[in-house]
Amino acid sequence: MTQFLLDISDIPSLDRQMLQVTNLSSATYDLNIDGHQIGTFSREELAAGINLALYSTPIEQQAKSIDWTADDRSKLSGTRSDLMTEGTALPGETAGVKTLDALDAKMIDDEYHNAQPKPHSFELKAEP
């Protein structure tokens, strides 16, 4: 399904993280990022450029963790809204809202922290 969506859409031109390496001597190479194998590529593919956005990489995992936190914050906001509109008769409603606000502030801090650019180690190993 993913390949089908890529074929019929313009996603590859919008989401590009290009890695291009030229003047390689071996025919094929294993690409590792932060010790995780991403794939095996020919010298021709690497010379033309590999779009890392199409592979599962540590960079993608960083982006997903930010997305998950944003989704959790959205759910938290809904809970807070429900508590404020429907929970006025509940004991401890004010304390509950304050607790949710504190959790939201922590999640915002986590989002900003996790969104900071991080250095990554790229390694190409020639296949024998």
pLDDT digit string, tens, across residues 25-55: 999 999 999 999 999 999 999 999 999 988 9
64 and 108 inside one domain: yes
Q: How many helices and strands (H and E) does the chain possess?
A: 5, 5
pLDDT at 95 over 80: yes
- Which pLDDT band holds residue 12 (cuts at 50, 70, 90)? low
The per-residue pLDDT for 88 is 65
Domain count of the chain?
2
Domain that holds residue 107: 58-114
Strands (E), 5-85: 18-19, 28-33, 36-42, 50-51
83 and 47 inside one domain: no
17 and 37 inside one domain: yes
